[in-house]
Each structure stands twice: as C-alpha cells, then as structure tokens.
C-alpha cells in the first residue's frame, strides 16, 4: 500500500523542539518511502487553541523546508464525521453522568494514572443526567509492535478504563477524532512523540470497532530539559526554526556530516534516516 504519513499538531502555541523532532521524523519517514505527508490541525479543544497558532506552525514548517502534500485539514471543520462515527458505535457506548469531582473521588489510581471505575456502565444512577459519552472497553489486551519502542501490550479496560469519546463540554475526544481522521485520510504510518504511546491501544480498539485499518506506529522519544522535565510549548519555542534541524537530527541519532551546506541538510537526512538509530526510550534530554 502506498505510504501516507501525517503530522498532526495542536495549535496551542508554536512548535517547540519536541514537536519539531516529531514533525521531522514523520516527514523523513514519508519522504524516504516516497510517500505523501499530510498536515492536520488538531484544533477541536477550542478552550486550549490559541488564535494565530495554526498559521504560526505552518510558517515554521515552511521556513524549515518541511513541505506537506495537499490541503491542511482542520478538525474543527469535520465535526459531522466524528458525530457519524459515534453513531456507528451505538451499543458500545454509554452516557456517563459523573461530575469531575465524582470522577476524582471514585477513580482507581494505578501508577499515578486515573482509571474510570465503570460507575455508569449499567445505566445512570437516579437523578443523574448524561454529561459525557464513554466507550465500553474490553479486558482483552491490545498488542502492537512499535518500530522504535518494540512490542507493546495494554488492557484498555484494566489500565485505562472506559474512556470518553464525547466530553462533558460537547467536544469530541482526541482519541475518536484521530482515529476517524487517520482512516479518512488513508494514513498508513503514524510517526509521533512517545507521549502518545499510551493512547495507541485505545486508538487501535476504536479502529477495530469502526472497521478501520491499523497503521504502523513509530513513537520517537519525548524531548525533555536537561533536568528531565517535558518541554513546554514555551520552552525553546522561539528557536524551533531552521537552525534547530541539526539538533533534532542529533536527537534522533543522526549526525550530519560536518560542512554540509544548509540546503543539503534535508536531502541528506531523507537518505540517512534510519529509525533503528533512534534511542529506544520514551523520553530523552534535548541537546543543550
Ligand atoms: Zn460515570
């Protein structure tokens, strides 16, 4: 099948070093495969979207020479698709009336993450009104092979719980939108940051329920500060321009030959891209 990759940033600020790494890895993988590289703005979470950030990201990508194929897709223009997908899941979803406070009080905490205990699975308690819509998950583990991180396995029911597809504020959840869009765009290869590794099993579960193909996955390490903290949108954001590409390549285990003219860096990178050189870890300090 012809390769289709994508980069799907949230326009909550300009690209920082970590998002540049993900963009570059995804772009190199697509270009080396002779495939298409699509761009999708994940702008559903309107409270977090910053006006002008989507355009700023497009300008950053252009200035770095990372050209995308076809029109940019905006999730905010595709609500009908998400509504249709939710409709297809009738019988596998249920309304949840839990308030944020009730969720905090009732959630089973395992390894620091909160697991929905299934309070509303068999119906809303008397006096409760539907707030969110959740997917009824199964205990059978989801397995997948990540091209960098290796063999992965997660029981969504036990490790995540029934997760939200439509939020209490009326926003379609990221997990649903990403699966619907990857399927609609024919994405064969997802290359992204390892902060999304734990979302992958949920997405594969949704793909199966919606009859969509499961793409190949490659999760690059998340860039951290030297102190091991995740880079925020603010950190190094102003620097995530052309000069950062060499640092991003180094982060991915690639060392560009010294003296390479700037215009030859990206063509070299496409030829030299080799995912087995990427450190097999979920987080890694960005080069100083
Ligand atoms: Zn509930």
Q: Which domain holds residue 101?
A: 88-218
Check residue 103 and give its pLDDT. Answer: 85
Distance of CA 117 from the midpoint of ligand 1 (Å): 8
Task: Assess if residue 13 is contained within a domain.
Answer: yes
Distance of CA 282 from the midpoint of ligand 1 (Å): 31
Distance of CA 157 from the midpoint of ligand 1 (Å): 15
Task: Answer yes or no: do 57 and 69 share one domain.
Answer: yes
Check residue 24 and give its pLDDT. Answer: 97
Distance of CA 129 from the midpoint of ligand 1 (Å): 10
Q: Which residues surround ligand 1, an ion (CB under 5 A)?
A: 96, 98, 119-120
Angle between helices 262-272 and 17-32 in degrees, nearest 10:
60
Distance of CA 81 from the midpoint of ligand 1 (Å): 25
φ and ψ of 76, to 5 deg: -65, -15
Separation between Cα atoms, residue 25 and residue 249, nearest integer Å:
8
Helices marked H in 155-261: 156-159, 174-184, 200-210, 245-251
- Supply angle C-alpha 194, 237, 226, rounded to 5: 60
Q: What is the CATH number of the domain that holds 23?
A: 3.40.50.620
Contact by Cβ (8 Å): 166, 173:
yes
Task: Answer yes or no: do 213 and 94 share one domain.
Answer: yes
SS3 148: coil
Distance of CA 158 from the midpoint of ligand 1 (Å): 16
Check residue 108 and give its pLDDT. Answer: 67
Distance of CA 179 from the midpoint of ligand 1 (Å): 23
Domain endpoint, select from 153, 187, 218:
218
Domain endpoint, select from 218, 242, 263:
218
Which residues does residue 166 pair with via DSSP β-bridges, in sequence order? 133, 172
Task: Answer yes or no: do 213 and 226 share one domain.
Answer: no
Distance of CA 155 from the midpoint of ligand 1 (Å): 20
Distance of CA 203 from the midpoint of ligand 1 (Å): 21
Distance of CA 98 from the midpoint of ligand 1 (Å): 4
Task: Assess if residue 58 is contained within a domain.
Answer: yes
Task: Answer yes or no: do 12 and 96 share one domain.
Answer: no
Task: Answer yes or no: do 98 and 166 share one domain.
Answer: yes
Distance of CA 93 from the midpoint of ligand 1 (Å): 12
Distance of CA 124 from the midpoint of ligand 1 (Å): 7
Task: Assess if residue 286 is contained within a domain.
Answer: no
Distance of CA 139 from the midpoint of ligand 1 (Å): 19
- Supply angle C-alpha 189, 3, 248, rounded to 5: 55
Distance of CA 50 from the midpoint of ligand 1 (Å): 30
**Per-residue b or e along 175-204, where b marks 16 or more CB atoms closer than 10 Å to that residue's CB:** bbbbbbbbbebebbbbbbbbebbebbbbbb
Separation between Cα atoms, residue 254 and residue 157, nearest integer Å:
39
Note down pLDDT in tens along the chain; length 288 residues: 799 999 999 999 989 899 999 999 999 999 999 999 999 999 999 889 999 999 999 999 999 999 999 999 999 999 999 999 999 999 999 999 999 888 888 766 655 567 898 999 999 999 999 999 999 998 899 999 999 999 999 999 999 999 999 999 999 999 999 999 999 999 999 999 999 999 999 999 999 999 999 999 999 999 988 887 877 655 555 556 778 899 999 999 999 998 888 889 999 999 999 999 999 999 999 887
Q: Would you state the structure tokens that stand for residue 278, as one six-digit string?
A: 């990427």
**Per-residue b or e along 205-244, where b marks 16 or more CB atoms closer than 10 Å to that residue's CB:** bbbebeebebbbbbbbbbbbeeeeeebebebbbeebeeeb
Residues 6+ apart with CB under 8 A from 115: 107, 108, 109, 158, 159, 160, 161
């Amino acid at each position: 099948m012809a390769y289709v990759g994508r980069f799907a940033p949230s326009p909550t600020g300009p690209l920082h070093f970590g998002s540049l790494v993900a963009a570059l890895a995804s772009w190199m993988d697509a270009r080396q495969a002779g495939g298409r590289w699509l761009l999708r703005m994940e702008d559903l979470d309107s409270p977090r979207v910053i006006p002008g950030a989507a355009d700023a990201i497009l300008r950053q990508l252009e200035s770095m020479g990372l050209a995308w194929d076809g029109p940019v897709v905006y999730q905010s223009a595709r609500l009908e698709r998400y509504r249709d997908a939710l409709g297809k899941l009738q019988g596998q979803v249920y309304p949840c009336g839990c308030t944020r406070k009730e969720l905090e009080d009732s959630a089973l905490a395992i390894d620091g993450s909160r697991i929905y205990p299934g309070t509303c699975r068999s119906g809303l308690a008397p006096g409760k009104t539907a707030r969110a819509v959740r997917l009824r998950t199964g205990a059978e583990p989801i397995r997948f092979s990540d091209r960098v991180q290796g063999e992965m396995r997660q029981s969504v029911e036990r490790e995540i719980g029934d997760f939200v597809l439509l939020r209490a504020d009326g926003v379609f959840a990221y997990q649903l939108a990403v699966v619907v869009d990857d399927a609609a765009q024919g994405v064969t290869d997802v290359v992204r940051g390892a902060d999304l590794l734990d979302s992958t099993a949920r997405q594969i579960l949704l793909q199966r329920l919606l009859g969509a193909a499961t793409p190949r996955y490659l999760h690059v390490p998340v860039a951290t500060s030297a102190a091991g903290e995740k880079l925020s949108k603010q950190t190094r954001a102003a620097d995530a321009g052309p000069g950062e590409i060499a640092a991003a390549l180094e982060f991915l285990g690639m060392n560009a030959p010294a003296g390479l003219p700037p215009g030859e860096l990206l063509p070299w990178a496409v030829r030299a891209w080799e995912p087995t050189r990427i450190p097999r870890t979920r987080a890694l300090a960005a080069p100083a």
